[in-house]
Amino acid sequence: MPTYTPPLRDMQFVMHELLKVTDAFKAMPRHADVDVDTVNAVLEEGGKFASEVLFPLNVSGDTEGCSLDPASHAVTTPKGFKEAYASYVAGGWAALSCDTTFGGQGLPLVVNQMFYEMLNSANQAWTMYPGLTHGAYASLHAHGTDAQKQTYLAKMTSGEWTGTMCLTEPHCGTDLGLMRTKAEPQPDGSYRITGNKIFISAGEHDMAANIVHLVLARLPDAPPGIKGVSLFVVPKYLINADGSLGARNGIYCGGLEHKMGIRASATCQMVLDGAVGAMVGQPNKGMQGMFVMMNAARLGVGNQSLGLTEVAYQNALAYAKDRIQMRSLSGTKAKDKPADPIIVHPDVRKMLLTARAYAEGGRALMAYCSMLLEQELNHPEDKVRKDAGEMLALLTPIVKAFITDNGWTATSTCLQVFGGHGYIKEWGMEQFVRDSRINMIYEGTNTIQSLDLLGRKILGNNGATLKKFGKLVAQLVEEEGVNEKMSEFITPIAVLGEQMTKFTTEIGFKGFQNPDEVGAAAVDYLRVAGHMVFGYFWARMAQVALREMAAGNPDPFYLAKVQTARFYFAKLFPETATLMRTARSGAAALMDTDAVFA
């Protein structure tokens, strides 16, 4: 059976030594009093909940899955899930970062994100039930009427009610402009909504008293395409004037998907049969509200793969230290044993270090993005809010696509460490691989994220935001450029930083002549950008660690950090050279292939 230990030491390093989050909190009045001890204490308790309550349900939940009663349309979650959710609510975890106006604890988003990383390591399928509620909460908080906020947000904050996002339909996924779900206005100002949605995570379950669905649909006179989509809040149970639950609404689960992974998460086919809903925001402007939820979900999906990368690494490392096979190529290491532990073999170390580098690099990026979101929402200065929002928009597709691509690689290589045992269910590794695969697909496939990054976030503003990130790289290069101990970390990002301008301009010029050139280059381009971002954070982490070592700090944590950074730049970062070459190879080899597909 697998095991899990919350990576609290590295979380503390990222927050307090790398990003110095509590210093940043002081500039935001609502968080000015949040100190290091508070953050650490909350996450320590959160780690206990993840490892002691959720993790023991991960394998059993995957084995049991969810069940649907066709007569009542009720979904039953695996044994222990409902009780774990009750414990989550009782502990106040649902309210961790929510607005105090609605009963939340008002803690910084970075604390909630670190907590959710641990939940995802422990049990990604379970975590999807409360996880989507945060996005629905954020959408209603930003775009709901005062009455809607009063009706829904306190219950969603407490965890008494959960939330979903209902976008996908059987005939359309990413292309939401093709959706057919209809919303008919009623004399009382409500709407009757009819249609079918698929792939709705946590669309029906037995863990909360009510489920608040955010549904995209079309008004009768809506213009075609994405400009004719409106957003509606559609509760599972209608809500009486006094806030109590009323009649069952006309939205129900018509079927459960049988999936490769996250089997304990109820992925529902939802039927809307004249369901009563209320509009959120303005008519035909539904994507504004839904994008709030989608962007939150994209950060959340990156965090899912980060959690899986961490837990897969921990288990592969423990196995590699224990499993004996053959002798080291450089001579016997375990003379008291008939063979050496496999961790002595170079390629086993490469697999382990790949997972560790991707986990720790991803954790730094996730924390940084959480702080950007915090600043965008809560900083008192307009310019800081604007700059943070622009940088977050640039990094969101990288979080979603780069971290989930890396998660797939990491979980697969960690399974490989186990050899044949990794392919066997009892070790738990194959579940991490299966669970990680969906993260590259939902909330916009990674190709969609790549097109968004290159086409909209970079070429769309002539690289202005990319140049702002480039300035961060340049500042670090200027600061450490003459430090010989930092040269192996600084030189690669300095070179790539210079190459990115020419590389981006070249792809943009080719795309102006033929848009397919952007489509052909986008996925490779995103990975180059991802490595530039990871490289920046790994160089900064090495900087902090080297300074601690120079000051005489004997903690082996810092040496391990430097060694992992050295591995990242030597073995993973050089992928950028190949990626730039393949991106530059153009669209012809892909598009001039009609004979192949005839």
Active-site annotation, residues: 443
Contact status, residue 124 vs residue 310, Cβ threshold 8 Å: no
Report DSSP state, residue 218.
B
Question: Nearest CA to 307 among 366, 257, 263?
Answer: 366
Buried b (16+ CB within 10 A) or exposed e, 468-477: ebbeebbebb
Q: Strand pairing partners for 237?
A: 248
CA distance 278 to 271: 17
- DSSP three-state, residue 448: helix
CA distance 378 to 360: 27
CA distance 41 to 46: 9
Contact status, residue 6 vs residue 115, Cβ threshold 8 Å: no
Find where tokens 């009542």 sit: 72
Residue 547 Cα distances to 450, 552, 567, angstroms: 36, 9, 19
CA distance 325 to 23: 49
Q: And the tokens for 347? A: 């390629």
Contact status, residue 312 vs residue 437, Cβ threshold 8 Å: no
Torsion of CA 417, 422, 423, 429, to 10 degrees: -120
Strands 210-217 and 245-248: unpaired
CA distance 120 to 506: 39
CA distance 536 to 477: 10
Based on C-alpha coordinates, what's the Rg of the chain?
24
- Count CB-CB contacts under 10 A for residue 564: 20
Buried b (16+ CB within 10 A) or exposed e, 264-300: bbbbbbbbbeebbbbbbbeebbbbebbebbbbbbbbb
